[in-house]
């Protein structure tokens, strides 16, 4: 009898546990939205719409970068005036910081409230912000602040799109086609970068507002199309919003990235801001808050950041590789732009005012390389797994960065074009396989947050990379430019006191002046100093050759340091990529009690 009672007790206990688990699953799992069945062609609707969104976001990023000189002229803001550097810095970095901070939160919200709903809202927010940006009428500092704020609003919409795109594609495509779909999506998005380089230059020549207006028809069409055509195919998880996790993560990452951003801003008599108490205290505060965030996420029942996903080897290895590759590549576009606009193009007869457009044109091989490799690597990933292509891509990237070290400052264009083309091929080999590996490795219910976490690591790497690249470049310039500038200016009639002052202008000032297509010395000398010089001296100092010749050797010295750092990051990314292991796809095992309702179709 005792044995029977014991067995009956164990059976009751087992039944109680099973019922509790079933209740938990019912509470946490909300099945797909009852939008009706979708056919086999639906997956291509998802691919085309998400690709349109990525095209819009990436085109906007590079077109604004290339059009920055016209934007500054349009709002009547002198890029070399005191305080202007802050506006330029936040015009470029503010979008990245907001995206990096919000994208994982928005991915998690997509899991909770519907990925399509968050994606549609992203299209709408991005479009409204683009309209508002095109209507900014203030000038000077007020106009710059309005543009910065509205760019941050635009970044919220962009983060919504980026956080849910990969999850929507993973929901819609079967596992044997996901690599191809993600590859095509990323390749067309990257195509937007080189279209933006050219379109930004052409539109800015007409009017700077057109750089923002171009997003509006695309955004309106995409918003309507996504609202009417996209359906919720993924699972939605009922959960409370993790407010403590959201606040500590958002505040911590924001503070850390603000500190990194201000690290390249001159402070006192220093050429950079890394000695500024504000910088290291902000970074330290951010790190403390992020540590608190990790502790919170270990304790809450429904965390925002799924730390348990890091137990999946392809997930953590892929994200580590993505972060390292982003740090290795993030500042490359700015370095190439300064190289072309500040040195190579003026030395080859291009006026400073025209260099932004031509820099975009001369960098097209970089994007063509990505276009060539992206779809192929995505397709092959579906068959052979991500590891050989993602790892090989990072090894090739390290080789191309090493190759750029050997390219002379006054290069022959075919050599330069070949090296940057192969760099594009390298990152094209890496991008789609790495994303596919990450998204294939997670449960369906966590695809939104996984997509957001992937984008967070990638977007966090960008501002970190830019800060590191500029810091290393400034170190290289600071060792030689002051002496050479002092000697060059005094040899051409500039008073010694003026030359001494200009020789100690922080390098970041004339780097950004060159980035904006300005002749730095014309702006730095000013009309009064120039008027006291002979016509020949004026022509020499403000011509196309004096400034490029002045910084060529120091720039090359700094470039070697920067590219060596990029080589190390890419090799580390290759190592992390190799650690992901062989091909792995997470397959769902559902209890029979949670079957999908009859009117909800699986992804096609």
**CATH number of domain containing 328:** 1.20.1250.20
DSSP 8-state secondary structure symbol assigned to residue 232: -
Same domain, residue pair 231 and 255: no
Of the three residues 284, 303, 322, the one that is the final residue of a domain is 303
Same domain, residue pair 197 and 264: no
Same domain, residue pair 395 and 258: no
Instruction: Find the largest Cα–Cα distance for the chain.
Output: 115
Same domain, residue pair 329 and 213: yes
Please give the pLDDT value at position 121: 92
Same domain, residue pair 561 and 467: yes
Contact assessment for residue 434 and residue 322, using Cβ atoms and an 8 Å cutoff:
yes
Same domain, residue pair 284 and 192: no
Q: If you average pLDDT over residues 332-359, what whole number do you get?
A: 82
Closest CA to 52 of 127, 147, 135, 148: 127
pLDDT tens sequence across 443-482: 877 777 787 788 888 878 888 888 888 888 888 777 777 8
What whole-number distance in Å separates Cα of residue 127 and Cα of residue 362?
30
Closest CA to 52 of 182, 188, 159: 188
pLDDT tens sequence across 480-495: 778 888 888 888 888 8
Domain contains 502: no
Contact assessment for residue 32 and residue 232, using Cβ atoms and an 8 Å cutoff:
yes
Contact assessment for residue 197 and residue 361, using Cβ atoms and an 8 Å cutoff:
yes
Q: If you average pLDDT over residues 542-565, what whole number do you get?
A: 84
264 alpha carbon, distance to own chain's centre = 18
Task: Compute how many other C-beta atoms are within 10 angstroms of the C-beta atom of residue 497.
Answer: 8
Please give the pLDDT value at position 586: 67
Same domain, residue pair 118 and 204: yes
Domain contains 531: no
* Residue 548: its H or E element: helix 546-578
Q: Could you tell me the two tokens for 394?
A: 């990072």
With a pLDDT cut of 90, the percent of the chain lying above it is 17
What whole-number distance in Å separates Cα of residue 382 and Cα of residue 41?
19
Res. 151: pLDDT tops 90: yes
Domain contains 530: no
Please give the pLDDT value at position 102: 83
Q: Tell me the HSE value of 231 on the side-chain side, using a 13 A CA sphere.
A: 22
Task: Compute how many other C-beta atoms are within 10 angstroms of the C-beta atom of residue 206.
Answer: 10
Q: What's the angle, vertex CA 262, arms to CA 267 and CA 465, rounded to 5?
A: 125
Same domain, residue pair 138 and 269: no
- Per this entry, what is the length of the chain? 604
Whole-number average pLDDT of the chain: 80
pLDDT tens sequence across 184-221: 887 777 777 777 877 887 888 788 899 899 889 888 99
What whole-number distance in Å separates Cα of residue 153 and Cα of residue 59?
17
pLDDT tens sequence across 287-327: 999 899 888 888 887 777 777 888 888 999 999 999 999 99
Where on the phi/psi map is residue 493: left (φ > 0), alpha (ψ -120 to 50), or beta? left
Q: If you average pLDDT over residues 130-144, what whole number do you get?
A: 90
Q: Could you tell me the two tokens for 22?
A: 């079933």
Domain contains 342: yes
Domain contains 368: yes
Domains held by the chain: number: 2
Same domain, residue pair 227 and 166: yes
Same domain, residue pair 112 and 226: yes
For residue 293, the enclosing domain spans: 242-303
**395 vs 65, residue with greater confidence:** 395
Q: Which residues are paired to 267 by β-bridges?
A: 270
Same domain, residue pair 453 and 434: yes
Confidence of residue 239 (pLDDT cuts 50, 70, 90): low
What whole-number distance in Å separates Cα of residue 208 and Cα of residue 396?
38
Res. 137: pLDDT tops 90: no
Q: Which residues are paired to 30 by β-bridges?
A: 236
Same domain, residue pair 149 and 64: yes
pLDDT tens sequence across 53-83: 888 888 887 788 778 878 888 888 876 666 6
Lowest average pLDDT, out of 31-35, 302-306, 524-528, 539-543, goes to: 31-35
Please give the pLDDT value at position 435: 87
């Amino acid at each position: 009898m005792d044995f029977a009672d014991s067995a009956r007790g164990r059976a009751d206990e087992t039944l109680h546990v099973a019922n509790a688990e079933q209740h938990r699953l019912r509470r946490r799992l909300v099945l797909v939205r009852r939008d009706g069945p979708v056919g086999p062609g639906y997956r291509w609707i998802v691919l085309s719409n998400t690709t349109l969104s990525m095209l819009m976001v990436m085109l906007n990023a590079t077109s604004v970068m290339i059009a920055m000189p016209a934007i500054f002229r349009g709002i009547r803001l002198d890029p070399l005036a005191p305080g202007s550097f802050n506006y330029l810095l936040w015009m470029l970095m503010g979008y990245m910081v907001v995206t990096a901070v919000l994208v994982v939160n928005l991915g998690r919200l997509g899991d909770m409230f519907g990925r399509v709903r968050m994606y549609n809202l992203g299209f709408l927010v991005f479009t409204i912000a683009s309209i508002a940006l095109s209507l900014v009428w203030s000038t000077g500092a007020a106009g710059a602040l309005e543009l910065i704020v509205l760019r941050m609003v635009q970044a919220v919409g962009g983060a919504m799109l980026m956080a849910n795109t990969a999850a929507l594609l993973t929901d819609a495509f079967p596992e044997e086609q996901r690599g191809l779909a993600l590859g095509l999506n990323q390749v067309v998005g990257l195509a937007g970068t080189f279209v933006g380089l050219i379109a930004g230059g052409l539109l800015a020549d007409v009017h700077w507002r057109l750089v923002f207006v171009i997003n509006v028809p695309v955004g309106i069409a995409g918003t309507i199309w996504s609202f009417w055509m996209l359906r919720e195919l993924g699972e939605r998880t009922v959960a409370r919003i993790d407010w403590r996790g959201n606040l500590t993560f958002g505040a911590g990452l924001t503070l850390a990235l603000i500190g990194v951003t201000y690290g390249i801003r001159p402070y006192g008599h220093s050429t950079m801001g890394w000695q500024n108490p504000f910088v290291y205290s902000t970074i330290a505060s951010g790190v403390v808050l992020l540590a608190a965030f990790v502790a919170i996420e270990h304790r809450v029942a429904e965390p925002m950041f799924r730390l348990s996903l890091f137990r999946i080897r392809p997930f953590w290895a892929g994200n580590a590789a993505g972060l390292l590759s982003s740090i290795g590549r993030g500042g490359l576009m700015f370095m190439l732009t300064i190289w072309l606009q500040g040195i190579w193009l003026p030395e080859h007869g291009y006026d400073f005012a025209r260099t932004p457009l031509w820099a975009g044109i001369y960098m097209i091989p970089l994007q063509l390389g990505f276009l060539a490799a992206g779809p192929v690597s995505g397709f092959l990933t579906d068959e052979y797994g991500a590891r050989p292509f993602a790892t090989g891509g990072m090894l090739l990237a390290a080789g191309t960065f090493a190759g750029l070290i050997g390219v002379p400052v006054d290069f022959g264009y075919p050599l330069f074009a070949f090296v940057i083309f192969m760099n594009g091929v390298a990152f094209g080999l890496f991008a789609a396989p790495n994303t596919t590996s990450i998204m294939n490795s997670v449960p369906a219910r966590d695809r939104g947050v996984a997509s957001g976490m992937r984008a967070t690591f990638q977007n966090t790497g960008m501002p970190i990379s830019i800060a590191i690249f500029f810091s290393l470049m400034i170190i290289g310039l600071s060792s030689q430019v002051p002496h050479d500038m002092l000697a060059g200016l005094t040899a051409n009639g500039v008073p010694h006191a003026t030359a001494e002052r200009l020789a100690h202008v922080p390098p970041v000032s004339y780097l950004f002046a060159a980035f904006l297509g300005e002749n730095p010395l014309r702006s730095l000398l000013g009309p009064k100093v120039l008027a006291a010089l002979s016509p020949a001296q004026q022509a020499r100092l403000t011509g196309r050759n004096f400034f490029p010749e002045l910084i060529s050797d120091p720039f090359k010295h700094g470039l070697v340091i920067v590219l060596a750092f990029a080589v190390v990051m890419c090799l580390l990314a290759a190592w992390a990529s190799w650690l992901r292991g062989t091909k792995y796809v997470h397959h769902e095992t559902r209890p029979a009690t949670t079957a999908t309702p009859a009117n909800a179709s699986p992804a096609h």
